Structure 1
Amino acid sequence: MSEYRFPRQDAQFVLDHIVNFSGLCAEIGHDDLASGLSDAILDEAARLGEQVLAPLNKVGDQQGAVLGEKGVEETAGFAQAYKQFAQSGWPSLVAPEAFGGQALPKVISTAVNEVWQSSNMAFALCPLLTQGAIEALLTHASDELKETYVTPLVSGEWTATMNLTEPDAGSDLAAIKSRAVPEGDHYRITGQKIFITWGDHQMADNIIHLVLARLPDAPAGVKGISLFVVPKFLVNADGSLGERNDAKAVSLEHKLGIHGSPTCVMSFGDEGGAIGYLVGEPHTGLACMFTMMNDARQGVGLQGLAISERAYQHARTYAQERIQGTLRDGSRVNLMKHPDVRRMLMLMKSGVEAMRALMYLASATGDQLEHASENEAHALQARVDLYTPIVKGWMTELAQEVTSLGVQIHGGMGFVEETGAAQYLRDARILPIYEGTTGIQALDLVGRKTLSDEGQALTLLLQEVETELANMLLPDTLSGALERCQMGVDNAKEALAYLLANPKQAPAIGVNLMMLLGYLLGGWLMLRAAGKAQELSKQPSADTAFLMTKQQTAHFYCEHYLPRIAMHLAIINAGGESLMAIDEAQF
């Protein structure tokens, strides 16, 4: 099994030349990061990911969490790794200084989280959810709840979960049945939640569950859902831990992948009701939870990038080492000499680099929003909102292809668990499902993010892409790639026009519009990278091999991925008539 190495050079290139990290730091008042602190942060993250978390990845896959007398027991070695992770201050990167955080930009946290997710995605799900819970509490909770719960989450002493799904309420949250009955200064929570990632473990002193439930007077549907903090152990007035709350993991799911991450069935109220505390106003729970979900959706998009990078490194190493085939002179060659293996590796490499560019850009846009003036905030919020379903949907779908190619490059050995390639495919399969399926991301994109403003935010993005492409200085070898990307913008405009003229077709065409935009934004940023690489190659100290490879990789991406835009447009223009034509009984 190949070792993981954080692709530091490419990550740094994206920070410097796609995101303009130094300009961002100046804009948000963090010049210390641009002057070297970010280098130290990334170096330390790489060290922990490569040396501590990555070796536990296969262990977690083979020896997943189990449910015992003490509750859920995590994979051996995970607790020690988490202790090192927390003591090093990693959970506190982006949290406010008032709660013990370091208040660093999100884009640095994104680069760091790529390390965690690539090195050990099952482990990294735990801090990912905690980060989202911190965001939700900071945005919606009372000062009293913030004072009690946020600081221990920021320090990593405690972890957090998101409790939405129930046996009869999956994506349809309107069907939630969990109840919350007022009792003095708290509520009694009863009900069952399923698919709760890291719902129980022994790595932290306490686990804070964010739980959706209904009050006795709640109206029907999603407008009647409230959000509650339900700690595993109750917290005393002085901050110390009290008695065990009536919230327990009663079983673990047996899953296709991410075995090291316990997915729990949580029961609240088997012994009279779990004590919980209302977050925000009554009946506004879904809006509160969406703060955490949107954070998590970008995080899952990052997982798509990260697991694809890990699969690519694994396949690249195998292709370099595996001797297969003979030349005319009788010499034996490795897999890298075969054009079709090169094709697959280049699909993996270029796809990963496009995902990284979009992921970091979306994260940096969030940083700009956080420090924006009132006049700038609306447009930046619209851009962040637009990026989120594309990041989550397109990147996790592309990860299915990339990790599958990793298995294919291994040939028959890829179908054998011992080589390790299959784990990345299995682990990646959850990504288009949790935190909102691909179809839900597409509905969000076409509905809330496009039709709701009559396409204004998307039109503005396409205009910016079009203008930048028109002014790009690229070598002649990339003229065809540039034309393909410009044609992709025209295709996207046509797709948008179709949606606006046929809003009832939105559910039928949403996924294809989302994928179209993902490939287009990837091409735009790959060509931006190629232009920067050409410019930098003229400097005396330039790493010419790396910079030339950036241009060649962009060329390949535009030749092999951008033609898919026309395919998605053709499907969009066909509408949904054939989709719904067959009688249900004929399936």
Structure 2
Amino acid sequence: MSQYVAPIRDMQFVLNELAGLGEHANMPGCEEASPDLVDAIMEEGGKFASGVLAPLNWVGDRHGAKWDQGAVTTAPGWKEAYQQFAESGWTAIGCPTEFGGQGLPKLVSIPVSEMFKSANLAFSLGPMLTQGAIEALVLRGSDELKARYLNNMVAGIWTGTMNLTEPQAGSDLAAVRSKAIPQADGSYLISGQKIFITYGEHDMTENIVHLVLARLPDAPEGVKGISLFVVPKFMVNDDGTLGARNDVHCVSIEHKLGIHGSPTCVMSFGDKGGAVGYLVGEANRGLEYMFIMMNEARFSVGMEGLAISERAYQKALQYARERTQGTELGVKGGGKVAIIKHPDVRRMLMSMKAHVEAMRALAYVTAAAIDTAHHHADEQERAKAQAFTDLMIPIVKGWCTETGIQMASTGIQVHGGMGFIEETGAAQYLRDARISAIYEGTTGIQANDLIGRKMAREGGVTVKALIATMKALDSQLAEAEAGTLGEHVAVVRKALAEGGMAVERAVSYVLANFATDIKAVHVGAVPMLNLMGIVCGGWQMARASLAAQRKLAEGSGDADFYRSKILTSRFYADHVLSQAAGLSHTVCAGAVGAMAIDEHLL
């Protein structure tokens, strides 16, 4: 099996040159994020990812999680790895210091998160869901709930879950039926069944803190009648010790295409009279609070698309360098060569490399905006960053996960027939990647959110500002054409300009027709999301070209790395950004072909 090596050099470039890590330390609450500390964290994170988590990836896939009479056992070595993970402080890296966290900004935790997801995606899901639960309790939990649960969750002693959907509900949370009956002591008895609960039951920690959506007896119908509750696996005594087992149980785990090491549970609440739960925040505002967790999770799932692409790329690159087959085109009488010499294999590898770099840049820049929205001293800057974040999260989630599936598939193609054989390892990445475009909201849901809430509702203010930002880069790119590899920068400049115009056309169509022909606009929602992802990725690749050009001019060293940046951006311009015009056409004109045919003819 291939080894995972954290791409720390590229991560450092993106953090410092594109995401503005140096400016982060000037914001309140981010003072600890010095370059030396961040480098040390990434170095240690890379060691843990490659040395502890990566070797267990294959084990988790082969062995999987096992269910027996309500108990779930993780794959061999996982419990010990999790204990080491928690003891090393990785669960606390981005959490508030008042609850035992390290208080580091998201921009610092994101590269480490990418490493862990690349090394072992199924393992990383438990800490990801716990982080979302922590975030919801920090922002909306009472002081009593915070004191009772957060320190142990931050320390990794307990984990957390999100319990949203039910068998009859799917993505329609208005159909949630779980009940919450008030008790005299202020608690609630929760009853109902939840499905698709990641790490709803496992053997890695002594307690699991479930956040559960349920309805009060007098709740209004629909999404306005949903409340959020904390339901622990074991009750917690006033002194912090664990008490009796709560009435919540795992009745089965799913048999899945991928992420076999991560138990996906069917959870039953209240089979013996009711699971004791505690209201989070105000009644009937549960969906609003759950979206705190969901936005955190959606961004993190988008990171999965990046992470699995990186892992698949490393595996494909290693194989292409080692696999000898065929002679080199244009070389008469030559011997057999490694397949990396073949143009189509080179194209596939460059596609993987370019997409990985574009996704990483876009995700890290979005993480920086999240920090700015939370920490910047200026209220207007916070609002501006929040608007940008809101626009980007469905793009990061939708485009990166769809791209992750494509890149994992491309990795198999590089292997040829051997990629279809499980023992090679490449197939696992595709199987693991496939769920990422579905959970925490399918790509269609992300796309509907993008065109509805993030574009039409605000009249396109934020997306138009983004387009203007892209256009403002043109003059800098023009100047860079005179530098090293300037002819490649010129191609990037032209492609970005055309991509920006494609986005502008599509946005104008959405804004003009959303109120009068909503079905037609929604036909183009996913193409619109992909268009935005491709062009925003191109925007970051153009910025990377400029930064690399500047470093070459300064003679900063590592010239091969910077030349590679410019040439990879050129590939992205020719092979990826060039798709923008076609996607824009689909957004503006694709509705007729989708809606004209009668349903019975499908």
TM-score normalised by length of structure 1: 0.98
Alpha-carbon separation, structure 2, partners of 1:554 and 1:535: 15
**1:447–1:506 CA contact under 8 A, matched in 2:** no
Larger deviation, residues 386-395 vs 567-576:
567-576
The corresponding residue for 1:407 is 412
Q: Deviations over 1:374-403 (max 9, x none)?
A: 232222211110010000001101111111
Structure 1 partner of 2:320: 319
Name the counterpart of 1:422. 427
- Which letter maps to 1:555? R
**Shift in Å at residue 33 of structure 1?**
2.7
Output the amino acid matched with 2:588: N
Q: Which moved more, 1:83-92 or 1:461-470?
A: 461-470
String of CA shifts for 1:206-237, please: whole Å, max 9, x gaps: 10001011110111111111110000001111
- The CA distance in 2 between the partners of 1:353 and 1:417, in whole Å, is 27
Q: State the AA in 2 paired with 1:522.
A: G
Instruction: Judge conservation of contact 1:28–1:368 (CA < 8 Å) in 2.
Output: no
User: Higher mean Cα deviation, 466-475 or 356-365?
Assistant: 466-475
- 1:306-345 mapped onto 2 (5 Å cutoff): 306-327=307-328, 328-345=332-349
Question: SS state of the match for residue 430, structure 1?
Answer: helix
Corresponding residue for residue 244 of structure 2: 243
Bigger shift: 202-211 or 322-331? 322-331
CA apart distance, 1:480: 1.9
State the partner residue of 1:186: 187
In structure 1, the partner of 2:458 is: 453
1:567 aligns with one of 561, 582, 587: 582
Superposition deviation, residue 60 in structure 1: 0.3
Partner of 1:272: 273
1:363 to 356, 359, 367: 367
1:61 and 1:485 map into 2 onto residues whose CA distance is 40
What CA distance in whole angstroms lies between the structure 2 residues aligned with 1:188 and 1:535? 62
Q: Deviations over 1:399-438 (max 9, x none)?
A: 1111100000000000000100000000000010000000
Query: Displacement of 1:477 after TM fit?
Result: 2.6
SS in structure 1 of the partner of residue 453 of structure 2: coil
Quote the Cα distance in structure 2 between the aligned partners of 1:333 and 1:418: 24
Residue 533 (str. 1) matches residue 538 (str. 2): no
Alpha-carbon contact 1:224-1:284 (below 8 Å) kept: yes
SS of residue matched to 1:211: strand
CA distance 1:281–1:13, change in 2 (3 Å): same
Q: Secondary structure of the equivalent of 2:557?
A: coil
Paired residue secondary structure (1:378): helix
For 1:501, the equivalent position in structure 2 comes to 512
Structure 2 match to 1:542: 557
Query: How big is the shift at 1:581?
Result: 2.0
Distance in 1, matches of 2:585 and 2:561, equals: 37
After TM superposition, the structure 1 = structure 2 runs for residues 1-400 of structure 1, keeping only pairs within 5 Å, are 1-28=1-28, 30-69=30-69, 71-184=71-184, 185-327=186-328, 328-372=332-376, 373-400=378-405
- Is the 8 Å Cα contact of residues 312 and 349 (structure 1) preserved in structure 2? yes
RMSD: 1.1
Q: What residue identity is the alignment partner of 1:195?
A: F
Q: CA deviation at 1:501?
A: 0.7
Read off the aligned partner of 2:194 and give its amino acid letter. K
**How many Å separate the matches in 1 of 2:93 and 2:269?**
32
The CA distance in 1 between the partners of 2:391 and 2:73, in whole Å, is 39
Instruction: Give the direction of change, closer, same or farther, for the CA distance of 1:242–1:447 in structure 2 (3 Å limit).
Output: same
Q: Distance in 2 between matches of 1:50 and 1:289?
A: 33
- Post-superposition Cα deviations, 1:322-378, rounded to whole Å, max 9, x if no partner, equal 001124324110010000000000000000000000010000100111113223222
Q: Structure 2: how far apart are the matches of 1:368 and 1:95? A: 16
* SS across alignment from 1:489: helix
Which residue in 1 is equivalent to 2:483?
Answer: none
User: How big is each residue's C-alpha offset from its partner over 1:433-477, in whole Å with a ceiling of 9 and x where there is no partner?
Assistant: 000000000010011111110100111111111112333342233
Identity %: 52
- Secondary structure at the aligned position of 1:266 is classed as strand
1:479 is matched with: 490
How far residue 575 of structure 1 moved from its aligned partner, in angstroms, is: 4.2
Q: Distance in 2 between matches of 1:6 and 1:300?
A: 19
Secondary structure of 2:473's counterpart equals helix
In the TM superposition, residue 535 of structure 1 has moved relative to its aligned partner by 1.1
Q: Which runs of 5+ in 2 are unaligned?
A: 481-485
Q: Distance in 2 between matches of 1:217 and 1:582?
A: 44
Residue deviations 1:74-94, cap 9 Å, x none? 111000000000001111111
Q: Which amino acid aligns with 1:213?
A: A
Could you tell which deviates more after superposition, 528-537 or 336-345? 528-537
Work out whether residues 22 and 31 of structure 1, in 8 Å CA contact, stay in contact via their aligned partners in 2: no
- Shift in Å, 1:176: 0.6
Match in the other structure for 1:521: 536
4+ aligned runs moved over 6 Å, structure 1: none
